[in-house]
Structure 1
Amino acid sequence: MVWRNNKMEDLKKLQDDLWDYAETGFKEYKSAEAMCKYLEKKGFEVNRGICNMDTAFDAVYGSGKPVIAILAEYDALDGMSQEADVAEYKPLKDSTTGQGCGHHLLGVGAINAFLELKKIIDEENLEATIKLVGCPAEEAGSGKTYLARDGYFDDVDIALTWHPSNISSVSTGSHQACIQCYFRFKGVSSHAAGSPELGRSALDAVELTNIGVNYLREHIRSDERIHYAITNTGGHAPNVVQAEAEVRYFVRSSTGPRVKKLYERVCNVARGAALMNDTELEIIFDEGLVDIVPNFTLEKVFRDSFIKLGVPKYTEEERAYAKKFKDTYDVDVLLNQTYENVKDVKKLKKNIIESELNDYFVDKDHSDVCYMGSSDVGDVSWVVPTAQINVNCFSYGASGHSWQWVAQGKSSISFKGAIHAGIIIADTARTLIKNPNLIEKAKEELKERLGDQEYECLIPKDVLPHVY
């Protein structure tokens, strides 16, 4: 099979445009429109605004079964502003956002997979329906959760996706379920010196909540995490008792039922804080997503494609570029990291020492372990067999949500990773289409893993996609 795409320049421009837009969850208007127009230029009919999300879309090609969905993302992160190609922390002057998780690459790679798979279907006269699904707000908003909740994947047989990384491997294991919320306190303003007895500090309530949660941490499971950020301090004048204040929380656990219980414990802490200082509390549910259900059947097919097609190749210029970013990290720290399920850890550490970036396929053992972090891919994985890969797009050392990832997001290295991810996904989908027994095996595995459990979306039906 000869892999090609004659429009690499157009895809590279799309990558750069998405990096420039750097729009956060449910605000990806320019990004989504750029991707839609690219697909329309290629002759596809695009459906915008699916499942009540303005920045969600899909494009469909083919007919009949199986139906394979390729998941794309494109949202950015706040607080991740950074100049491109600069190997030092240097935020842009006119922006606070940046592609700190490489989702612009994820979107481009998914589009390339869709284009390559269309060629395969046409050239080999295969019966299949493929969907490119534009999924907004992975970082904050859980776009895929709304898609799963509202039945978008009901006719889908397999879902495939990828994520930029600094190693090339098949993703395995689970990730945490997560609930996000705001605790909004209302107090009474007063002169902090002249009449403090008349005031009720909303900011104190926020601080009491955070203190209480920090004591709660001692009594939660080792696979649970709680994070917060104060989103409204109530003002900047110390001599005014703050009449309003707000804090945003992420609550994570290994399963949906467990995260619901932990979330209620955290809510009780906030309720107690309001009681302690006589303020009013409003709890605003923001979003929720469930844990990922791994699928070893699909992971093996992905692995076979990786073994057959290899990993991206790099020039000396690209290696010199990567070295500038690798040198911003302490190599000893990299060597002491935990590399979950890697079959040959010694080989990986040797590569870290000797190479500027990962240049071979890192083979892993299958895993059922729940790793720290969350993704709305989890909701998809509960309703349809799902798998994903990682493809190297950055130097060694760089990690997600870092300025180093943002800085390298326009590089030829990152572009090669995105294009190669599309090639791997397309080849994996081809194998599945030509071997329907593998699809049935993946479905049976999902059924066995779930047992008598049913998918329960953590976002209530009356909560629509939103931005607070």
Structure 2
Amino acid sequence: MNSFTKAQQWSELDDSLVEAITRNADKVWEYAEVGYEEFKSSRTLVDWIESEGFEITERNVGGIDTAWVASFGSGSPVIGILTEYDALPDLGNEPVPSETPRKDGTTSGHGCGHNLIGTGAIGAAVALKRRMENAGITGTLRVYGCPAEELLAGKNYMAKAGVFDDLDACLHWHPANMNTTFNLATVASADLRIAWQGKNAHAGAAPWEGRSALHASELFAHGINTMREHIVPEARMHYFLENGGSAVNVIPDNASVVFRYRGPNAADVKKNLDWIRDIAKGSGLMTQTRVEITEMAACYDVLPNQVLSDHMYAHIEQFQPPVWTEEEQAFARTLQSEAGYPEDGMATDMAPDFRGASMGASTDVGDISYITPTMGILVAAWPTHVQAHHWGATASNGTTLGHKAAIKAAQVLAATGFDLLTDPELLEAATAEFKERTGGKPYESMCTAEAHPVILQRYAQAGDGACGCIGDSLGKE
């Protein structure tokens, strides 16, 4: 079986590439752009990968301005690597070990490390491309610019557009508080926006003239909370009130809720969405308000692949987890103390393979895992106990802790990509497991619209001809 040696791998991941990974990671961290708004972040990554000899073969994928595909090489096998680059609202933090708002006033932040995912993935692709050129290796290397993962509305719409259909395997990675493979069964999910239209009235003088959209939303929430007893333990339901009125003495004529259902698989999600729609309709009937239900996005659970996990785990062991300086460990312990966690510092060892264990989170990587054999790794980028979507993760992802994780991820992804390109037996084994887990059933998108409703609304407001104009300019001045 062919594989990188440490010396071979480091010869491709030279100082200039390490510098590019860290420099671009810091740029994207500074931009901290939320889903569908990652124009500068996406452009930064497109400029970089084009400068390394990749061709941008598709832009504006799935109607999303910041979605793109880059390619190098030709023929089979076709190996994909995923990037991400969107941030989260209200998680902006200085890169310090305390909860400290950014001095520049930016309120969003990379609390999940997507600034590192994009740059580590491209670093891997560049290293692998160089190896392919130096060794005369044939095959196609595909890099995907994937926006809006935090909205669970990027890769699934790209998948609906068909850009992953010809992949033989796909690789990804994620920052974490541990080092292991991403051999997890995440949950499938779907997002709805439910809006009620009622009738205004003076809340004191003539409330009987009104019909409260806010009451409709409250009844919907009550219906959802009575439903909780009757869903499977792996399922989750959460929502927030987007709008519920603006004056205490006015009967609210508009209210809306953004709702997410997570279930163990696509079948469970589809089944329970019918129930949720009925609850929404019932709340409208009870309050004599008109209800509108918009299906925002839906994604599959992640399908494990033990063949690829075993292989990637061996590579993480080969290259070893990141090595931390005493200053970095002191940063981590201070952050843990500030956040109320045990002061155990950064992970220095390997965590066990999850071997397909279920977790409550979701990712749109799930859709790809039902199209082609897919596997990723987790690399420690923030202190133990600290979770994603926390100010401590945002802070760490803007420091050398995050840099070292991205560099380590680049090594492992490049090594695994090399093996998939050069070892037919590995690819055949991963494909056989994939076919067994899917039962040979072809992928079918759960997204009901061709593009996300937010995107469709944006273009409708901009007028004809708006779609694609920004996407076409990515990577160009």
With normalisation by structure 1, the TM-score equals 0.91
1:289 aligns with 2:299: yes
- Structure 2 residue 357 is the aligned partner of structure 1 residue 363: no
Match of 1:24 in 2: 34
Which residue is 1:304 aligned to?
A: 314
Per the alignment, residue 199 of structure 1 pairs with 210
- Could you tell me which of 313, 320, 323 is aligned with 2:330? 320
Aligned to 1:447: 435
Q: How far apart, CA to CA, are the structure 1 residues paired with 2:334 and 2:184?
A: 32
For residues 126 and 305 of structure 2, the distance between their equivalents in structure 1, rounded to whole angstroms, comes to 25
Match of 2:239 in 1: 228
Structure 1 residue 283, shift from structure 2 partner: 0.3
Q: How does 1:340-419 map to 2 (within 5 A)?
A: 355-367=344-356, 369-419=357-407
**How much does 1:92 deviate?**
5.3
The separation in 2 between residues aligned to 1:363 and 1:136, in whole angstroms, is: 30
Separation in structure 2 between the aligned mates of residue 331 and residue 321 of structure 1, nearest angstrom? 13
2:15 corresponds in structure 1 to: 6
Write the letter of the residue equivalent to 1:277: T
Of residues 65, 70, 75, the one that matches 2:81 is: 70
Equivalent of 1:111 in 116, 122, 139: 122
Q: CA RMSD in A?
A: 1.7
Q: Report the Cα offset of residue 123 of structure 1.
A: 2.3
Partner AA of 1:54 in structure 2:
D
2:448 alignment counterpart? 460
- Deviation track 1:334-377 (CA, whole Å, cap 9, x = no partner) reads xxxxxxxxxxxxxxxxxxx7x4110112222522x432111110
Q: How high is the sequence identity, in percent, across the aligned residues?
A: 34
Q: Cα gap change, 1:126/1:93 in structure 2, threshold over 3 Å: closer, same or farther?
A: closer
Unaligned regions of 5+ residues in structure 2, if any?
Answer: 1-7, 458-477
Aligned runs of 1:417-432 on 2, under 5 Å? 417-432=405-420
CA drift of 1:465 comes to 6.5
Q: Does 1:41 align with 2:62?
A: no
Alignment check: 8 A CA contact 2:157 2:451 kept: no
Q: 1:145 aligns with which of 125, 140, 156?
A: 156
Q: Aligned in 2, Cα 1:227/1:158: closer, same or farther, shift over 3 Å?
A: same
Q: How far is the alpha carbon of 1:452 from its aligned partner?
A: 5.1
Choose the corresponding residue for 2:108, options 94, 97, 102: 97
Contact 1:24 1:76 in 2 (8 A): yes
Q: Which runs of 4+ in 1 moved over 6 A?
A: none
The answer to whether the 8 A contact 2:153-2:452 is kept is no
Return the offset for 1:81.
Answer: 2.1
Unaligned regions of 5+ residues in structure 1, if any?
Answer: 333-352
Q: Which amino acid aligns with 1:363?
A: P
- 1:96 is paired with a residue whose SS is coil
Distance 1:402 1:89 in 2: 12
Please identify, of 450-459 and 111-120, the stretch whose mean Cα deviation from structure 2 is larger: 450-459
Distance 1:92 1:402 in 2: 18
Trace 1:44-193 onto structure 2 (pairs within 5 A): 44-47=54-57, 48-90=59-101, 94-193=105-204
Of 404, 409, 434 in structure 1, the residue corresponding to residue 422 of structure 2 is 434
**Could you give the per-residue CA deviations for residues 396-450 of structure 1, whole angstroms, max 9, x where no partner exists?**
2211000111111210011010111010011111122221111111111111111
CA distance in 1, matches of 2:215, 2:104: 34
Secondary structure of residue in 1 paired with 2:143: strand
Amino acid at match of 1:116: A
Residue 5 of structure 1 and its aligned partner are, at CA, apart by 2.5
Question: C-alpha distance in 1, partners of 2:284/2:102?
Answer: 38
